[in-house]
């Protein structure tokens, strides 16, 4: 029986985690719940799962992690505010099932330096796929990681054709049902850039050996290429309950959590190269990740401001990544990476991005 603390319990990851737990009460016990602001829904969840410990907001969630005895902390918070709870979970020696990619990307070496081997279990479908595929060989046998991308709703469009897309179009993701920021990030491929940084931090593979390939069907979630020419791919229907269940009980699998592929029916899977001219976010993210320090925090913060401006009608769609690059180019990193310097860099990036957007 694994004792699970869920952060972001009212969001997409949190509610699907509760679905998995509801169906397998013999394997999991919920010992704590935290959400952003939906007090009534958290109370209803706590009543159903008989949970005595709840929290609202990132600061309360961080304290809950420190106070509640749990085997696994599932961090499904959205945004860099999840950094504090991530650090708290690692400091407390909990297994961290990480869906809050921003905390790893922004925290960088602060997070990886705290983590014991195997303490962070990725919940993103791409990184869960890589973790599963890596079990096929030793670390020294890995040649390359291949992260798949659906291509989003604008796959195949040129940069010029992207100039007039609307927020409603950007939110019409062809495969996944996610929140506003993550769905927009998938349309710009900023999300895939963040996932490349995450893959580097999780698996210690250099950026020049991490590729992105467009796979519109979203069935192959990522691949690992080995030195003998073999490639191991993880394939499953698009359903986050599968990687969530692995995050909760890694490396054991939870029976029946997802529907299997139907191999009796004809199907085609396609793979296409990424268009870096129309979608430069991945190339920029690799540069940012290689620079390290506070650069990823600046990248993420500038993106959040730009996404908000796009949905507010103050920035065209291509202007999102253009704004990020402009702010990254202006950033002067501090001498030392600390939680305080990260917070300062994020605050600067948000101010600089807002000013750049207003001056357009």
CA-based nearest residue to 20, from 29, 33, 11: 29
- Which residues are 214's β-sheet partners? 149, 272
Per-residue pLDDT at 136: 97
For 178, half-sphere exposure in the C-beta direction (CA atoms, 13 angstrom radius) is 24
CA-based nearest residue to 234, from 247, 245, 219: 219
pTM of the entire predicted model: 0.94
CA 163 to chain centre: 26
Measured on CA atoms in the order 14, 18, 19, 20, is the torsion positive or negative?
A: positive
CA-based nearest residue to 294, from 82, 59, 109: 109
268-280 pLDDT, tens per residue?
999 999 999 999 9
Which of the residues in the chain have pLDDT under 70?
A: 175-178
What does 268-282 look like in DSSP terms, one character per residue?
A: ----EE--TTT-THH
233-258 pLDDT, tens per residue?
999 999 999 999 999 999 999 999 99
| Token duo for residue 97 | 């099932």
Is domain 293-360 classified as CATH 1.10.1740.10? Answer: yes
Q: In the CATH scheme, what is the homologous superfamily, with its name and number, of domain 2-123?
A: NAD(P)-binding Rossmann-like Domain (3.40.50.720)
Cα–Cα distance, 166 to 159 (Å, whole number): 14
3-state DSSP call for residue 78? coil
Q: Which residue has the tokens 């009796």?
A: 264
Sheet holding 95-98, edge to edge: 54-56, 28-35, 2-7, 72-75, 95-98, 120-122
Cα–Cα distance, 62 to 314 (Å, whole number): 34
Per-residue pLDDT at 172: 84
Domain with CATH 1.10.1740.10 in the chain: 293-360
> Which pairing describes strands 142-149 and 72-75: parallel, antiparallel, or unpaired?
unpaired
- Which residues are 29's β-sheet partners? 3
> Which pairing describes strands 220-226 and 142-149: parallel, antiparallel, or unpaired?
antiparallel
166-177 pLDDT, tens per residue?
999 998 877 665
Kind and range of the H or E run holding 159:
helix 159-162
Are 118 and 96 contacting, i.e. CB atoms less than 8 angstroms apart? Answer: no
Are 20 and 28 contacting, i.e. CB atoms less than 8 angstroms apart? Answer: yes
Q: CB neighbours of 345 closer than 8 A, spacing ≥ 6?
A: 294, 297, 298, 301, 331, 333, 334
Are 110 and 339 contacting, i.e. CB atoms less than 8 angstroms apart? Answer: yes
- Which residues are 4's β-sheet partners? 30, 72
Are 5 and 32 contacting, i.e. CB atoms less than 8 angstroms apart? Answer: yes
Per-residue pLDDT at 176: 61
Q: CB neighbours of 182 closer than 8 A, spacing ≥ 6?
A: 78, 191
Cα–Cα distance, 309 to 352 (Å, whole number): 13
Q: Which residue has the tokens 């719940």?
A: 33
Per-residue pLDDT at 177: 59
In the chain, how long is the greatest CA-to-CA distance?
59
Domain with CATH 3.40.50.720 in the chain: 2-123
Phi, psi of 298 (to 5 degrees): -65, -45
Q: Count Cβ atoms below 10 Å from residue 153 Cβ, excluding itself.
A: 17
């Amino acid at each position: 029986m694994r004792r699970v603390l869920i952060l972001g319990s009212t969001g997409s990851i949190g509610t699907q985690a509760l679905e998995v737990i509801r169906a397998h009460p013999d394997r999991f016990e919920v010992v704590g719940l935290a959400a952003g602001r939906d007090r009534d829904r958290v109370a209803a969840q706590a009543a159903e799962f008989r949970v005595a410990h709840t929290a609202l907001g990132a600061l309360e969630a961080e304290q809950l992690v420190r106070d509640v005895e749990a085997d696994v902390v599932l961090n499904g918070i959205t945004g860099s505010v999840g950094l504090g709870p991530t650090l708290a979970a690692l400091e407390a020696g909990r297994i961290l099932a990480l869906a809050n990619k921003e905390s790893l990307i922004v925290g960088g070496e602060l997070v990886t330096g705290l983590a014991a081997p195997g303490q962070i279990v990725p919940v993103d479908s791409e990184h869960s796929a890589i973790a599963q595929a890596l079990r096929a060989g030793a670390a020294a046998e890995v040649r390359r990681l291949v992260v798949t991308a659906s291509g989003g709703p604008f796959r195949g469009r040129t940069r010029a054709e992207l100039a007039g897309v609307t927020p409603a179009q950007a939110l019409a993701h062809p495969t996944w049902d996610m929140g506003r920021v993550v769905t927009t990030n998938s349309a710009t491929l900023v999300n895939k850039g963040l996932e490349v940084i995450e893959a580097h931090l999780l698996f210690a593979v250099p950026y020049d050996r991490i590729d992105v390939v467009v796979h519109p069907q979203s069935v192959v979630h990522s691949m690992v290429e080995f030195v003998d020419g073999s490639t191991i791919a993880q394939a499953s229907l698009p359903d986050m309950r599968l990687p969530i269940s692995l995050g909760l009980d890694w490396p054991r699998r939870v029976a029946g959590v997802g529907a299997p592929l139907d191999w009796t029916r004809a199907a085609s899977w396609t793979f296409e190269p990424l268009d870096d001219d129309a979608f430069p976010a991945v190339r920029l993210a690799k540069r940012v990740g290689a620079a390290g320090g506070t650069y990823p925090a600046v990248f993420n913060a500038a993106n959040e401001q730009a996404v908000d401006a796009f949905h507010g009608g103050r920035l065209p769609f291509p202007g999102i990544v253009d704004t990020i690059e402009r702010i990254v180019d202006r950033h002067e990193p501090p001498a030392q990476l600390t939680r305080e310097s990260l917070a300062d860099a994020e605050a600067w990036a948000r101010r600089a991005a807002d000013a750049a957007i207003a001056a357009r």
